[in-house]
Chains A and B, each alone.
Chain A
Amino acid sequence: MVERTPILDTLTYVFLMAGICIVGFPIFYAIVAATLPIEEVAKVPMPLVPGDQFLVNMRAAWEQGNLGRQLLNSFVMASGITIGKIVVSMLGAFSIVYFDYRFRKVAFAAVFCTLMLPVEVRILPTYEIAANIFGPVQWMIDTLHLNRLMAWWFGNDFEIALEWSLLDSYSGLILPLVASATCTFLFRQFFLTVPEELCEAAKLDGASAMMFFRKILLPLSVTNIAALVVIEFVYGWNQYLWPLLITTDPDMTTAVIGLQELIPQIDDVPLWNVALSGALIVMLPPILVVLFMQRWFVKGLVEREK
């Protein structure tokens, strides 16, 4: 520090501790509640000394909330989105930065503009397309009267009806979320800072584009990828609106959505200990990812938004 300010320094730590306590209190309180039997939780105010019912509550939450299956779904969805986003946007950025072709700028602009179309502003139409992914093709067939054309061509009745529903499926949970303007942008920015000499040298040595991508660009991008893995995993795990829309089968929904079932309603037995146990289980995986990959997380968060 610049000067000695003992009083202010003490105050700093006091405020910091207060801040940490305020930020941590909801979780602390939930942990305590998760260890208590129902009679204790229903007391107001609830005792702040942990009880011994932790495992019992955890098991109750696990069974009532169908958590085993739903945690698996959450995991598949979060990893699918993470991997999908990174692969799709890395290839896209490679194409945009290392090639020159006619639609390059258009493609980049089109990807970039998806920033302005979050799922929240196109709820129903996106649901419709997920219900039948061939909707646009079908529409084209219908408007061009291809059916009639075919019927005329082949001389008998002919109908094309395409349908493939993504509802209640992993592909439906994952696919619509794998396009990412921010990831593409991040990789583009990063590729632009990669020295030109590397590419020139690779070309002199006779490396093909994909060889350059695999042997040079990919290893260079490892820290960026790690950073994105943290951010996108958390993003995928915590998705709410999209899984709520396209899953109706309790076996296909995600853990965050499934928790809703555990919250005690007005007339129920107030099983808050079970509900909070469930909440703790479901929030743990992304928290662990963030804590263990903290360095990349901070880097990813700050750089992603540039």
Chain B
Amino acid sequence: MVKRSIFKSRTLPYLLITPQVIVTLTFFYWPAAQGLLQSLMLSDPFGQRSRFVWFDNFIRIFSDQLYLKSIGITLGFSLATALTAITLGLFIASMANRALRAKAVIRTMLIWPYAVAPAISGILWLFLLHPSFGVVAFFLKRRLGIDWNPVLNGNDALVMVVLASAWKQISYNFVFFMAGMQAVPHSLIEAAAMDGAGPFRRFWAITFPLLSPTLFFLMVMNIIYAFFETFGVIHTVTQGGPGGATTTLVYKVYQDGFIGLNLGSSAAQSVVLMALIIMITVLQFRYVERKVQYTM
């Protein structure tokens, strides 16, 4: 779309867009193309010699048990993180929306974790859940008799990174749910109250359905977050361990490619991730506006 009233110039528009295009081409498209090419090659770790091997790298990663396991871990981790963060965000937002007084203070107290880096969130939770020094770990052991040890037990480690990742994201979801709830027409709520619907009924019959676009959007954003931005949590807290129990796909690309220098395999894994995010983005743009919208 372009304005009706526009400026005419032969060179200026090109000049204006040049920085954007240069950065995009050098740091986005060139590396992406290189990645695609590399995924079809077999190279030695120093990148000196390489051979074209078609889809061997892909066949290899998809027959690799560790990779398949990592896919499962990533899916479980992302869903758990997204659901925890969304549920808590929605719950807190619906409470905050009911609050009559001190709304600004409440909002302030709830949004700041957004500014905490995932890696730092990881440190905070590692301290809480640390098997020897963590207070939560202590109570789990003494009071509930659960043998909690995220350093040795894979499932515990996964729970720990889920908590650290979800905690920070609660604020993000809270902001969107608050915005969504404030957009619900007050007349609808009042009409429902006149018809005898109580607060819970009103929430489930009116507010919640009207929030469905927000909910869908947040689901997508939280899953993208869990897939890509939680690298910091995993790198600081578990380094993918114990025994690969928290090695998500992104962490595995980093580990195999940057640490292990297995160029072909890492490139093939990157391409798989690329395909995945393209799918998610397309899905988002096709459905976010159309399917889950309740027009009035």
Given contacts A16-B99, A23-B113, A104-B2, contact A125 B35 (CB under 8 A): yes
In the complex, which of the residues B6, B171, B228 contacts A23, with contact meaning CB atoms closer than 8 Å?
B171
**Contact B7–A98 (Cβ < 8 Å):** yes
Binding site secondary structure of chain B:
helix
**Contact A45–B138 (Cβ < 8 Å):** yes
Q: Is B208 an interface residue (CB 8 A)?
A: no
Among A51-59, A127-135, A221-229, the stretch that binds chain B is A127-135
Find chain B residues with CB under 8 A from A151 CB. none
**Contact B171–A126 (Cβ < 8 Å):** no
Given contacts A99-B7, A196-B3, A245-B258, contact A302 B179 (CB under 8 A): yes
Q: How far is the CA of A111 from the CA of B28 in the complex (A)?
A: 10
**Contact A209–B110 (Cβ < 8 Å):** no
Q: Is B58 an interface residue (CB 8 A)?
A: no
Find chain B residues with CB under 8 A from A96 CB. 2, 17
Q: Is B68 an interface residue (CB 8 A)?
A: no
Given contacts A12-B98, A98-B3, A122-B35, contact A92 B20 (CB under 8 A): yes
Q: Is A72 an interface residue (CB 8 A)?
A: no
B interface footprint on A177-209 (CB within 8 Å = 1, 0 otherwise) = 011000010000001100010011001000011
B94-113 with Cβ < 8 A to chain A: 95-96, 98-100, 106-113
Other CB < 8 Å A-B pairs besides A9-B98, A176-B27, A294-B107, 4 of them?
Answer: A87-B19, A88-B20, A125-B30, A129-B26
**Contact A100–B17 (Cβ < 8 Å):** no
**Contact A110–B21 (Cβ < 8 Å):** yes
Find chain A residues with CB under 8 A from B13 CB. 95, 99, 101, 104
Q: Is B257 an interface residue (CB 8 A)?
A: yes
B interface footprint on A284-306 (CB within 8 Å = 1, 0 otherwise) = 00110111001001100110010
Provide 5 A-B residue pairs closer than 8 Å at the C-beta atoms, listed in order of the A residue: A8-B98, A45-B135, A98-B7, A99-B12, A256-B117
Q: How far is the CA of A208 from the CA of B190 in the complex (A)?
A: 53
Q: Is B165 an interface residue (CB 8 A)?
A: no
Q: How far is the CA of A138 from the CA of B42 in the complex (A)?
A: 22
Q: Is B181 an interface residue (CB 8 A)?
A: no
B185-234 with Cβ < 8 A to chain A: 189-190, 193, 199, 202, 217, 221, 227-228, 231-232
Find chain A residues with CB under 8 A from B132 CB. 44, 270
Find chain B residues with CB under 8 A from A25 CB. 128
How many chain B residues have a CB neighbour from A under 8 Å?
Answer: 103
Q: Is A158 an interface residue (CB 8 A)?
A: no
Given contacts A117-B28, A120-B250, contact A279 B91 (CB under 8 A): no
A interface footprint on B40-83 (CB within 8 Å = 1, 0 otherwise) = 00000000000000000000000000000000000000000000
Find chain A residues with CB under 8 A from B257 CB. 123-124
Q: How far is the CA of A82 from the CA of B168 in the complex (A)?
A: 22
Q: How far is the CA of A221 from the CA of B246 in the complex (A)?
A: 43
Given contacts A124-B258, A240-B118, contact A118 B228 (CB under 8 A): yes
Q: How far is the CA of A196 from the CA of B4 in the complex (A)?
A: 7
Q: Which residues of B are interface residues toward A (Cβ below 8 A)? A: 1-9, 12-14, 16-17, 19-21, 23-32, 34-35, 38, 88, 91-92, 95-96, 98-100, 106-121, 123-128, 130, 132-135, 138-139, 151, 167, 170-172, 175-176, 179, 189-190, 193, 199, 202, 217, 221, 227-228, 231-232, 235-236, 250, 253-254, 257-258, 263, 266-267, 270-271, 273-274, 277-278, 281
Find chain B residues with CB under 8 A from A122 CB. 28, 31-32, 34-35, 270, 274
B12: nearest chain-A partner, CB-CB: A209
**Contact A263–B34 (Cβ < 8 Å):** no
**Contact A121–B274 (Cβ < 8 Å):** yes
**Contact B124–A27 (Cβ < 8 Å):** yes
B176: nearest chain-A partner, CB-CB: A302
The listed residue with most A CB atoms (<10 A of its CB), out of B12, B110, B132, B221, is B12
B interface footprint on A106-123 (CB within 8 Å = 1, 0 otherwise) = 010011001111101111
